[in-house]
Chain A
Amino acid sequence: MAQVDWLNGQHTRLLAVQLSAVVDELTEHGRGEAASEELAAAWERFCSLDAVALRGALEDPATHDWLSRARALLDSPVLRSCGRHHLDRLMLRFPVLLMNVAHLDSRLASGRLTLLGSGVVPAYGGTVWLRPPTARRTEIRWKLEERLRVEDARGRLLLELSEDDGSWLGGAAEGWSWEFASEVRGMALFRRPPCVAHDFARDCADSGQQLRSSLATLPSPTRRVLRRCFRAAGPSCREHPFDAWSWLVLEEAPGSRHLTESLAASLVGRCGEVYRFGGGGELATQVGLEPDALRQVIADELESGTALAAESTLSQAIGVCRSPAAGRRRPAARDRGGLDYSMAMSRAGVGSIGGDRQVHEKTRRLDQSPSWRFLDLLLQVPHERLGRLRDALDVEKEGEVRRFGLACLDYHEGRFEDGLRHAVACVELDEVCEDYWLLAAFFARHLGQHGRFEDIVFGGERSPRLLAELRQGSGEER
């Protein structure tokens, strides 16, 4: 469980990297109004789609308060530009982020833990999000008294965390609170000795040393593998705030073989995610990632299953950087473009069925459920019109629109072999689109290729090798 907790902390930081990249795109790289409007429009569509789920969630007493706050915050023009789904994820996980961030670059003086670093900005309404290292430095103060108190540089309360009977409660100056014990997987890092744990001592003079000491209780070797990962990651990576914590692990703590592999795979995956979501490789360049060296680490150190997942993530990330899409500066985080089927539907005589659902927005994140919007929309198309829709899709000029439309139509009509070929073609056109990979997985499942379904869905494999197998339609599975 401790291992899972640690890895979940890693995953949380990946989300923070994503959000950092988004914020950076808008506010630091000067894409300005065009990007803001683009995201605001996408955010509007997203909000309307989620209205039912959000409404239902508001009825839940456990989430009512903070969701109400979130909804109010979302009206802010500042937060609109961040993207609602990023904010959702961040608000759910920000206690974990805070605790991780607190140990990245910290020193304690006079009973207070003072955090200095480029990774944190002042909270807005109790929410903290992170910026990439190019942002200006900001000071956050943490008070360790009976509760953990987070203040900004002017002493204003941002967040207060207190422990009550095994659960953590959070509150901010406005007085709202929520119980997030079940979400605080990362907190186990600091509360559950003797595994990956750091007890937040009330009067510790050096939290860094505290962390090192507690991490030294981890069993078996981790350092060799991690050291190689970090050499592969490049020297400038050490300056990245997300790596400072990992350096502590590297210096001080061994780990089990399984943990070693998990950590290594996670680190590689994180590096890959930095590529993938870092704006066409810019952020990756900033932190000096060296993919060939990382590949060598994967090959030398990891067992086959873990290696495959790590290689898959890294390959996909590299592919994004070197693809024409990256050359056109269309990284996943800012690409909100959808596939527009309104013309095809109109030519097929099905008119305005589904309204704006005739635009299929692609799912790009591994932690989002796939969008079957267009596929589900076909349920409303009269049977006698499906043939005309197929003809209309066949003449679509936009390759991706044509391919995905035909893949969906094949799925709808049970033409699984034809559909798999279209789905594979979609992946070849956009290899970071989750909908394409998952549609291919479902085709494979219907064709009795359960192993390939599991590779994509459970294993998260997105490798060229698997794509080649799907393309060949090989009946022999691994």
Chain B
Amino acid sequence: MRLPTREPFTTLLELKGNGALLPLYAGVACGARKSLDDWIPLRALAAFRQCLDGLGLAMIEDCIFERLPIERRIDGLAQAPTTHARGLPMQRAAEASPEARVHVFVAGSPRWAEEALRAFSYPVAIPEDRLLIRPRIDATRVGAAFGYPPCCIAAFMRWNNWFERSHFSVVYRSQRVADWQVNCLPRNTPFMAIFHAPCSASCTASFRMSQQVVEAVAEFDSEYAESIVASLKGEFLIVNEAVVYKLHGAEVDGEMAVSFREAESLIGMRSVSRPQVAKVARLLDGADWLELDAGLLTVRGEGEERYYEVDPTSGWVDDPCLIRFQ
């Protein structure tokens, strides 16, 4: 996969320090979505704002994120398992560490940036012992502020509970093959087009948003856009929302069996440290073939056969499924 080599992506990449959400900046600039949120190194904030000015985008700061040790116990963590950061208000920026990042909203207009700020409170640890979880109804306001399709917002409210179901599996289980434009699985990588989970694998609003984002990226860097599309196509294994793999070089070997060259984790979340994450990683290490059969994942590689069986008592709900995007 080829990272962008043209502006404004190269500057954004340098200032952000990572390629996450890069395509969405083009999406916001072209109007495919109203706003996005991101985390910018505190030391790069001024330069980042200047870069956005050049793109005609507005930015508003929320708060500063400081890392907490992954093993740190925080009250409320069960409700926001991917969040493991301490929050500081901007006025205390002088106290922040060199590694601190600022949670910002980037939007097509100052009004939309303000709308996002009002709607979205990130559940950081304030102080260090509790996560300030927001009321669940606010997810609808956040989705509206970002410009997500209303159907997808409604689906999120209905299905997004990691302890009850795997939302990704609910979305993609109905079809064995789907269009790449509705693929949100690489959303934590630089090769993505939509961050939200579509309400279904045939959601036309999500299809349209994804297409618009890729086209907007292509306006700046056509090769980067091609890499994004290539990344969104292929065979994917979903175990739960935090355990997702792309199976490179995949070839179908039966309805629910594939051979592959390499399994790439698409997790990308430092804070996710559940046992299932490690278990599946060990399972797929060195593997070149897998089959799904009624909740049992059979994997072969290096001359041995291994199994991953869904454990209904394990906390996060596993719901393995295979989906191919083309």
Which chain A residues have a beta carbon within 8 Å of chain B's beta carbons? Answer: 8, 11, 50, 52-53, 55-56, 59-62, 92, 182-183, 366-370, 372, 375-376, 378-379, 411-412, 414, 438, 442, 445-448, 450, 453-454, 457-460
Contact present for B121 and A59 (CB under 8 Å)? no
Contact present for A372 and B135 (CB under 8 Å)? yes
CA distance in complex: A454, B121 (Å): 11
Q: Which B-chain residue is minimally distant from A447 (CB atoms)? A: B118
Q: Does B25 contact A (CB under 8 A)?
A: no
Most buried by B among A445, A453, A458: A458
Contact present for A375 and B87 (CB under 8 Å)? no
CA distance in complex: A92, B134 (Å): 25
Chain B residues closer than 8 Å to A368, beta-carbon distance: 75-76, 130
A132 CB, min distance to chain B CBs, angstroms = 23
Chain A residues closer than 8 Å to B141, beta-carbon distance: 414, 446
Q: Does B1 contact A (CB under 8 A)?
A: no
Question: A372-B133, A375-B137, A446-B119 known; A52 and B126 CB under 8 Å?
Answer: no
A170 CB, min distance to chain B CBs, angstroms = 14
Contact present for B132 and A369 (CB under 8 Å)? yes
Interchain CB contact (< 8 A) of B76 among A183, A369, A379, A448: A369
Contact present for A370 and B133 (CB under 8 Å)? yes
Q: Does B131 contact A (CB under 8 A)?
A: yes
Contact present for B315 and A458 (CB under 8 Å)? no
Q: Does B18 contact A (CB under 8 A)?
A: no
Question: A55-B315, A183-B73 known; A367 and B130 CB under 8 Å?
Answer: yes
Contact present for A56 and B137 (CB under 8 Å)? no
List of 9 A-B pairs having minimum Cβ-Cβ separation, nearest first: A369-B76, A56-B315, A53-B78, A367-B129, A182-B69, A458-B89, A454-B89, A59-B275, A372-B135
Q: Does B72 contact A (CB under 8 A)?
A: yes
Q: Does B127 contact A (CB under 8 A)?
A: yes
Contact present for A59 and B76 (CB under 8 Å)? no
Contact present for A369 and B89 (CB under 8 Å)? no
Contact present for B73 and A442 (CB under 8 Å)? no
Q: Which B-chain residue is minimally distant from A62 (CB atoms)? A: B71
Q: Does B270 contact A (CB under 8 A)?
A: no
Contact present for A56 and B274 (CB under 8 Å)? yes
Q: List 20 A-B contacts (CB under 8 A).
A: A50-B78, A52-B78, A53-B78, A56-B163, A59-B314, A60-B273, A182-B69, A182-B71, A367-B129, A368-B75, A369-B79, A369-B130, A372-B134, A372-B135, A378-B137, A445-B117, A445-B118, A446-B119, A448-B118, A457-B132
Q: List 7 additional A-B contacts (Cβ < 8 Å) besides A372-B133, A458-B63.
A: A52-B78, A368-B76, A372-B134, A372-B135, A376-B137, A450-B118, A453-B121
Contact present for A369 and B75 (CB under 8 Å)? yes
A368 CB, min distance to chain B CBs, angstroms = 5
Q: Does B256 contact A (CB under 8 A)?
A: no
A47 CB, min distance to chain B CBs, angstroms = 14
CA distance in complex: A236, B86 (Å): 37
CA distance in complex: A214, B134 (Å): 44
Q: Which B-chain residue is minimally distant from A375 (CB atoms)? A: B135
Q: Which B-chain residue is minimally distant from A93 (CB atoms)? A: B73
Count of A-B contacts with CB under 8 A? 100
Question: A52-B78, A56-B274, A61-B275 known; A379 and B315 CB under 8 Å?
Answer: no
Chain A residues closer than 8 Å to B129, beta-carbon distance: 11, 367
Contact present for A56 and B316 (CB under 8 Å)? yes
Interchain CB contact (< 8 A) of A379 among B126, B128, B157, B314: B157
Contact present for A379 and B118 (CB under 8 Å)? no
Contact present for B135 and A56 (CB under 8 Å)? no
- Number of B residues, CB within 8 Å of A: 43
A178 CB, min distance to chain B CBs, angstroms = 10
Chain A residues closer than 8 Å to B73, beta-carbon distance: 92, 183
Q: Quick one: which of B293-322 are within 8 Å of A by CB?
A: 313-316
CA distance in complex: A127, B88 (Å): 33
CA distance in complex: A52, B141 (Å): 27
Q: Quick one: which of B93-137 are within 8 Å of A by CB?
A: 114, 117-119, 121, 126-137
Chain B residues closer than 8 Å to A372, beta-carbon distance: 133-136
Contact present for A442 and B163 (CB under 8 Å)? no
Contact present for B117 and A56 (CB under 8 Å)? no
Contact present for A412 and B137 (CB under 8 Å)? yes
Chain B residues closer than 8 Å to A52, beta-carbon distance: 78, 163, 315
Most buried by A among B126, B129, B130: B129
Chain B residues closer than 8 Å to A62, beta-carbon distance: 71
Chain A residues closer than 8 Å to B132, beta-carbon distance: 369-370, 438, 457
CA distance in complex: A459, B117 (Å): 19
Chain A residues closer than 8 Å to B157, beta-carbon distance: 379
Chain A residues closer than 8 Å to B137, beta-carbon distance: 375-376, 378-379, 411-412
CA distance in complex: A379, B127 (Å): 28
CA distance in complex: A366, B128 (Å): 10
Contact present for B119 and A56 (CB under 8 Å)? no
Contact present for A60 and B275 (CB under 8 Å)? yes
B236 CB, min distance to chain A CBs, angstroms = 25
Q: Which B-chain residue is minimally distant from A54 (CB atoms)? A: B78
A432 CB, min distance to chain B CBs, angstroms = 16
B281 CB, min distance to chain A CBs, angstroms = 15
Q: Which A-chain residue is minimally distant from B74 (CB atoms)? A: A369
B159 CB, min distance to chain A CBs, angstroms = 13
CA distance in complex: A370, B75 (Å): 10
Most buried by A among B69, B118, B132: B118
Contact present for A369 and B131 (CB under 8 Å)? yes
Interchain CB contact (< 8 A) of A369 among B133, B136, B314: B133
B113 CB, min distance to chain A CBs, angstroms = 12
CA distance in complex: A53, B131 (Å): 14
Interchain CB contact (< 8 A) of A457 among B126, B128, B135, B274: B126
A35 CB, min distance to chain B CBs, angstroms = 24
B307 CB, min distance to chain A CBs, angstroms = 18
A447 CB, min distance to chain B CBs, angstroms = 8
CA distance in complex: A183, B79 (Å): 21
Contact present for B72 and A182 (CB under 8 Å)? yes
Question: A55-B315, A182-B72, A454-B89 known; A376 and B118 CB under 8 Å?
Answer: no
Chain B, residues 137-150, CB within 8 Å of chain A (1/0): the string is 11001000000000
Most buried by B among A56, A182, A454: A56
Chain B, residues 47-72, CB within 8 Å of chain A (1/0): the string is 00000000000000001000001011
Chain A residues closer than 8 Å to B79, beta-carbon distance: 369
CA distance in complex: A8, B69 (Å): 15
CA distance in complex: A183, B314 (Å): 25
Chain A residues closer than 8 Å to B275, beta-carbon distance: 59-61
